[in-house]
């Protein structure tokens, strides 16, 4: 049976609320995800929260009931609470019906099989959680094998990134690695490294992409460092026919990903 918490002063509420802070997430290895759709998608991929908070008003919803039953059957904690406390946990004035506390699950390079998919997304020093969430959604849409985060990217388990990913965080494998780890791993097997760059005249539709393709997107403001571009097998550029000199990093990644997908399918 779910237990009930209705007091702001409850120590568990403070502990969970602190997971909005990166330091506390790192210390506990836990993160927050909110919304019935996102938590249901997580359940469908086999990931369940260790703690599930839900409002009494939503307790009769069949998807909420299914989540409660699944969490309790797995030994987790289902907690009925108030909309005000849900708002405190999520940081939103109009909170979702459910908030879950999950264990972090990023992988290492050695734990993935590059042969399982023809396309992989790689991001270097991304700073914006919205961009990272959108790239995760793109990866899900094109059937990418996963997203490899290079160097000091924004935290994929921040509330903002999880929210922006719309559940793709649970469907796309995430790997964290340093550049000096990634390059030897990549060169130890098949893989074409394709970098998005403004410093090339090679049109993105004028080259051949070879599977598995590792599509590398750089930092939003600075792009890829020169040394990283030099390591790429191909540098390609999206044509800019207006006054803007570049696209948003997540948009550019999506355009490129669909071109690579089209070639692989064709």
Task: State yes or no: pLDDT of 257 exceeds 90.
Answer: yes
Task: Read off the pLDDT of each residue in 77-91 and give the average, rounded to a whole number.
Answer: 90
Domain end point (choices 69, 87, 103): 103
Task: Read off the pLDDT of each residue in 81-88 and give the average, rounded to a whole number.
Answer: 90
pLDDT at 198: 87
Same-domain check for residues 94 and 114: no
Same-domain check for residues 56 and 160: no
Same-domain check for residues 158 and 98: no
Q: How many domains does the chain have?
A: 2
Same-domain check for residues 161 and 75: no
Task: State yes or no: pLDDT of 2 exceeds 90.
Answer: no
CA angle 16, 21, 25 (to 5 degrees): 65
Length of the chain: 266
Same-domain check for residues 118 and 238: yes
Helices (H) and strands (E) in the chain, counts: 10, 11
CA distances from 135 to 41, 166, 230 (A): 18, 11, 24
CA distance 266 to 260: 10
Q: What is the CATH number of the domain that holds 209?
A: 3.40.1280.10
- How sure is the predictor about 12, in pLDDT bands with cuts at 50, 70 and 90? very high
Task: Read off the pLDDT of each residue in 235-247 and give the average, rounded to a whole number.
Answer: 80
Closest alpha carbon to 51 in 36, 33, 24: 33
Same-domain check for residues 78 and 179: no
Task: Read off the pLDDT of each residue in 88-107 and give the average, rounded to a whole number.
Answer: 85
pTM, to two decimals: 0.91
pLDDT at 165: 95
Whether the CB-CB separation of 89 and 13 falls below 8 Å is answered with: yes
Same-domain check for residues 79 and 205: no
Domain end point (choices 103, 132, 160): 103
User: In the structure encoding, which two tokens stand for residue 219, read together?
Assistant: 């930092």
Same-domain check for residues 113 and 20: no
CA 101 to chain centre: 16
Which parts of 104-196 fold into alpha helices (H)? 129-142, 159-165, 179-187
User: In the structure encoding, which two tokens stand for residue 12, read together?
Assistant: 């568990």
Same-domain check for residues 160 and 44: no
Domain end point (choices 71, 88, 103): 103
Is the pLDDT higher at 67 or at 244? Answer: 67
Same-domain check for residues 126 and 53: no
Same-domain check for residues 74 and 180: no
CA 7 to chain centre: 32
Q: What is the CATH number of the domain that holds 71?
A: 3.30.1330.30
CA distance 95 to 92: 5
- The string of pLDDT tens digits covering residues 187-210 is 999 999 999 998 899 999 999 999
Range of the domain at 134: 109-265
Same-domain check for residues 93 and 121: no
CA distance 133 to 131: 5
């Amino acid at each position: 049976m779910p237990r009930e918490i209705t007091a702001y002063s409850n120590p568990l509420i403070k502990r969970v609320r602190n997971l909005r802070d990166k330091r506390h997430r790192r210390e506990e290895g836990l993160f927050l995800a909110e919304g019935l759709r996102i938590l249901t998608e997580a359940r469908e991929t086999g990931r369940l929260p260790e703690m599930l908070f839900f409002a009494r008003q939503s307790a009769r919803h069949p998807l909420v009931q299914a989540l409660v039953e699944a969490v309790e059957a797995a030994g987790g904690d289902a907690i009925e609470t108030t909309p005000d406390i849900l708002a405190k946990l999520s940081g939103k004035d109009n909170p979702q019906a459910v908030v879950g506390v999950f264990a972090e699950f990023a992988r290492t390079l050695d734990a993935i099989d590059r042969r399982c998919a023809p396309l992989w997304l790689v991001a270097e020093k991304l700073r914006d959680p919205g961009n990272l969430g959108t790239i995760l959604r793109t990866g899900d849409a094109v059937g990418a094998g996963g997203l490899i985060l290079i160097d000091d990217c924004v935290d994929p388990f921040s509330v903002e990134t999880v929210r922006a990913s719309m559940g793709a965080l649970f469907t796309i494998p995430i790997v964290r690695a340093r550049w000096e780890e990634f390059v030897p791993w990549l060169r130890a097997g098949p893989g074409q490294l394709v970098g998005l760059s403004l410093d090339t005249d090679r049109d993105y539709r004028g080259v051949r992409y070879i599977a598995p393709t590792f599509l590398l997107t750089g930092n939003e403001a600075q792009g890829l460092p020169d040394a990283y571009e030099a390591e790429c097998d191909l540098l390609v550029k999206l044509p800019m026919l207006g006054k803007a000199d570049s696209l948003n990093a997540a948009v550019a990644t999506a355009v490129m990903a669909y071109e690579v997908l089209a070639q692989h399918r064709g």
